Amino acid sequence: MKDIVNNRIKLQKIGCEICQNSGTDLCIDCLYSIELLKKGIENSILEKEGKLPANITKVTIPVIPLPDNKYYYSIHGVNTILYNLFKTEKREQVKYLGSRTAYFKLAFVKSSLFTIPILNIEILFFEHLNSKCTNELWKALKSHIIFFTGSVGDIVRLSFKTKNELKDIIQTPSILEYPGPDSNKIFRNLLFTDEQINEIKYFKSFPLTKVDLKDFINNTVYDVFQGGFDLFEEQQPYRDESEVSLDEIVSDIFSRQEAIKESVNDIDLPYGELPF
């Protein structure tokens, strides 16, 4: 597991000298650069995987913000959830999952039921998984995952005929979206550590990232976030307004708000009044 300070330095390398020297939160120039890099990475994945018509299996795990779930709002916590989703001793499942290509994304979902956002973990397979594999993943969701997160999660099969439809499903929320910088005080009031608050900021920075399932099912230590850092390091900082404009970024933010809100309606909350 990489140290969070080293990860911060990697993100700062994307930005400007002011942020690198001051050690403060990333400025608007750095945020803009990260948005451009995320778009570039997602467009590359779209070109590589986006053969039409496209079939996708989406596994969604909402982390409900219960007091006992604070740990999972962290890099270690997300890795723990993904490990318990995919770990298996069944040879057929090991062989099948080990040969699949999967991508990982995170999104924060605002809910009127909670003070802090629900953390949505998504795994995308660019194919329809077979029924045996899907059944095994459902078993994990209904046993290990509900124990960790307070919600069963969901597995859906999707089909797309256009690039725009496919683009909507692979896009990660903008770093400028909810929760904003003003939410730091709320997290602190709920006794989140400063390290966790910094990691939550990083969650918003990550692009769609390829996951090596073999590391999970072989019971080896794996950091899913390292793939995102590697993608950023492979990209050269650039600012080509003719390719991606600030207006386009802002437009993307608002166009995705309804989709983010609608995802809350699909979350099964087995609890009544909650302290968060």
Distance CA 185, CA 263 (A): 26
Contact 144, 84 (CB under 8 A): yes
Contact 149, 141 (CB under 8 A): no
Q: What is the pLDDT of residue 25?
A: 59
Percent of the chain beyond pLDDT 90? 20
pLDDT in tens, 125-152: 999 999 999 999 999 999 989 988 888 8
pLDDT in tens, 146-156: 988 888 899 99
Instruction: Please state the domain extents for the chain.
Output: 4-264
Which of residues 223 and 22 earns the better pLDDT score? Answer: 223
Q: What is the pLDDT of residue 187?
A: 85
Pick the closest to residue 130 from 93, 85, 161, 101 (CA basis): 93
pLDDT in tens, 17-28: 545 544 445 666
Check whether 168 has a pLDDT greater than 70: yes
Check whether 211 has a pLDDT greater than 50: yes
Cβ neighbours of residue 54 under 8 Å, at least 6 residues apart? 126, 159, 160, 161, 166
Q: What is the 3-state secondary structure (H, E, C) of 86-112?
A: HCCCCHHHHHHHHCCCEEEEEEEECCC
Check whether 37 has a pLDDT greater than 70: yes
Element (H, E) at 260: helix 257-264
Pick the closest to residue 246 from 14, 35, 46 (CA basis): 35
Give 272's pLDDT tier (boundaries 50, 70, 90). Answer: very low
